[in-house]
Amino acid sequence: MSAVVATPGGSAPTRILEARDVHRSFGSTPALRGANLGLAAGETLAVMGPSGSGKSTLLHCLAGIYSPDQGEVRFNGRRLDTLSDAARSKLRRTEFGFVFQFGQLVPELTAADNIALPLLLGRTGRRAAYQQADVWLGRLGLEGLGGRRTGELSGGQAQRVAIARALVARPRVLFADEPTGSLDSLTGEQVMEILVGLVREEGTSVILVTHDARIAAYADRAVMVRDGKVSADLDAGVTHR
């Protein structure tokens, strides 16, 4: 694996996702102050930074969850921040996938239900959706656990369900915010191995927010966020590999 070295704005010609001079405040507290970032197709990018630096806010702006106060976010060259709520919902359903630290699974549903959920919401037929869910359960080593509710799964298993759910609709970008934050280091590494392996197979781009250098090392490239700005590219991945 080779790291892609780029400027904070990114220089890869095939940028799939891009933030330009993004500002975002919460009340009077600024979280992002002119953040610039580019993500190439198929690239895995780690966003690092200390707590409160704005890295999660940047991820949420890139994913269309937050609208920036100023600046713009483009996906495939199209403004994302000006899209309607319904259009952004559709984008999250079809083009994006999400893996968070915890809490992103629907607690009342089984593992298979959770994985099938994005497909069901996208009006895929029930049988097809659950067939796909079974496939992904197998790919993530969760055979036989499809009928369990999320509360009956271990932390690592729950994160693998979350990864399966994030990838089942074959998104073009996967947003991962501290995906191993609630796991022990060994399980965390296992989860990351699976995640990185699958996105490579699928050709999915990944934005990986973490404060853990060992997790960042799975990325092709890493940037540092400080005081609401993307301050520097770091050479990630190489050190790990």
- Cα–Cα nearest to 123, from 76, 169, 176: 169
> Applying CB under 8 A, which of residues 18, 43, 113, 233 lies at the interface with other proteins?
113
Q: Which is nearer to other proteins, 77 or 123 (CB)?
A: 123
Q: Is 127 in the site for other proteins (CB under 8 A)?
A: no
Q: Is the Cβ–Cβ distance between 139 and 198 less than 8 Å?
A: yes
- The CA distances from residue 219 to 52, 119, 148, 213, in Å, are 22, 28, 32, 10
The amino acid at 16: I
User: Residue count at the site for other proteins (CB under 8 A)?
Assistant: 34
Hey, is 119 helix, strand or coil?
Answer: helix
CB of 89 to other proteins, least distance (A): 4
Q: Which of 27, 77, 107, 144 binds other proteins (CB under 8 A)?
A: 107
First-to-last alpha carbon distance for the chain, in angstroms, is 8
Binding part of the chain for other proteins, among 74-82, 87-95, 135-143, 196-204 by CB under 8 A, reads 87-95
Other beta carbons less than 10 A from residue 30's beta carbon: 16
Grouping H, G, I as helix, E, B as strand and the rest as coil, residue 174 is strand
- Is the CB of residue 65 less than 8 Å from the CB of residue 100? no
147 binds other proteins, rule: CB under 8 A = no
Could you say whether residue 93 binds other proteins (CB under 8 A)?
yes
CA separation for the pair 241, 48 (Å, rounded): 18
Question: What phi and psi values does residue 233 have, to the nearest 5 degrees?
Answer: -85, 140
Q: Which stretch binds other proteins (CB under 8 A): 7-15, 108-116, 214-222, 223-231?
A: 108-116
Stretch that binds other proteins, among 7-15, 20-28, 115-123, 222-230 (CB under 8 A): 115-123
Q: Which of 3, 41, 109, 213 binds other proteins (CB under 8 A)?
A: 109
Binding site for other proteins (CB under 8 A): 60, 63, 65, 85-86, 89-94, 96, 98, 100, 103-109, 113, 117-118, 120-123, 125-126, 149, 165, 169, 182
